[in-house]
Structure 1
Amino acid sequence: MRRVLFAVGSLALLCAMAAAQAPLDHANGPAAHAAPAAASDPRALVPMPQPLAQHMLANMRDHLAALQEIQAHLGTGQMDVAARIAETRLGFSSLGLHGAHEVARFMPPGMQDAGSAMHKAASRLALVTTDAAATGEMAPVFSALAAVTGACVGCHAGYRIK
């Protein structure tokens, strides 16, 4: 059963990542093709200094790597390791590590809210993963994981950085 849940969770993450990269057609879901140019990209452009933009993109790549590591550890039953990664690399504990205070001042309020929602969801993921280690109940873990990736998808669907 755990392998099935892990496979479903992994598939959901891959779908979420694909959706985050595709332009949105709000009536019909992700568009069938990629946008040909940034001019047709409906997402809000968030200008920021190039070094901060590069720093932010590196942080997002690390967030994606952390999500993959969390899933791998969930799949092998290493709940404590998955919970630690969720909190230290994605949760509120990670804000200092990622230099969030430097980047946040360039973000519009909606983007800040999406980032806060992701960090809050990741801290919750850490908590429910710790609980699942004792109870064996995985449904809350996958719901919490979906909340983390949902915040990512929402932000990527609404914003892009320059």
Structure 2
Amino acid sequence: MKRILIAVSALIGIVSFNGVFADDEKMHMGSHHHEMSVIDTRTSLAVSPEMKQHQLSNMREHVVAIKSIVGLMSENKFEEASKIAHAKLGLTPEMEAMCGMFNNEQFKTLGLAFHKSGDDLGNVLQTKDVNASLRALNKTMQYCVECHATYRQ
């Protein structure tokens, strides 16, 4: 169980670093004295600076929610984890409206699938089945990985 939680935590760190903190044209590797240009081939969502900050804030909240869910699972607090999955990752009316604001149809579809998987995760967590919950969490996180690999602000 500990190895699974460590692996999930590592994946969360990788996703959050790559998708949330990388800028559009350069990633800083190692110390501040060494810069490496990286050509970003992901699709730009071409959003306003305000929308970019709002979206980045939402993604950071998603990462915190996943971290909380993993922690609660490790303490066998599946009901609490389920509530977080539904409230913070699920397809709430606010998240559905947010996804609808983007002009890219594939991004909308991916965002809606992510949030639906958050609700599925919440439902599976209620069963208190660790393996099924980890599979559902993996599916939700796969949407994170796919989105961050495909799109940029």
TM-score normalised by structure 2 residue count: 0.80
CA RMSD of aligned residues (A): 2.2
Q: Does 1:144 align with 2:144?
A: no
* Amino acid across the alignment from 2:7: L
| Partner SS for 1:131 | coil
Select which of 120, 126, 134 maps to 2:122.
126
Quote the residue 1:36 is aligned against: 37
Equivalent residues in 2 for 1:45-124 (5 A)? 45-93=44-92, 95-96=93-94, 98=95, 100-102=96-98, 104-124=100-120
% identical equivalent positions: 23
Q: Which runs of 5+ in 1 are unaligned?
A: 23-32
Quote the residue 1:15 is aligned against: 11
Higher RCO (CA < 8 A, seq sep 6+) = 1
Check 1:54–1:119 CA distance in 2 against 1; reply closer, same or farther (3 A cut): same
Q: Which runs of 5+ in 2 are unaligned?
A: 20-28, 30-34
Shift of 1:105: 2.4
Shift of 1:104: 3.2
TM-score normalised by structure 1 residue count: 0.76
Measure the CA separation in 1 of the matches of 2:58 and 2:122.
Answer: 19
Measure the CA separation in 2 of the matches of 1:102 and 1:116.
Answer: 10
Measure the CA separation in 2 of the matches of 1:108 and 1:129.
Answer: 32
Query: Do the aligned residues in 2 keep the contact of 1:114 with 1:152 (CA within 8 Å)?
Result: no
Shift of 1:91: 0.5
> How many residues get paired?
138
Query: Do the aligned residues in 1 keep the contact of 2:12 with 2:63 (CA within 8 Å)?
Result: no
Query: Do the aligned residues in 1 keep the contact of 2:42 with 2:149 (CA within 8 Å)?
Result: yes
Which stretches of structure 1, 4 residues or more, deviate above 3 A after TM superposition? none
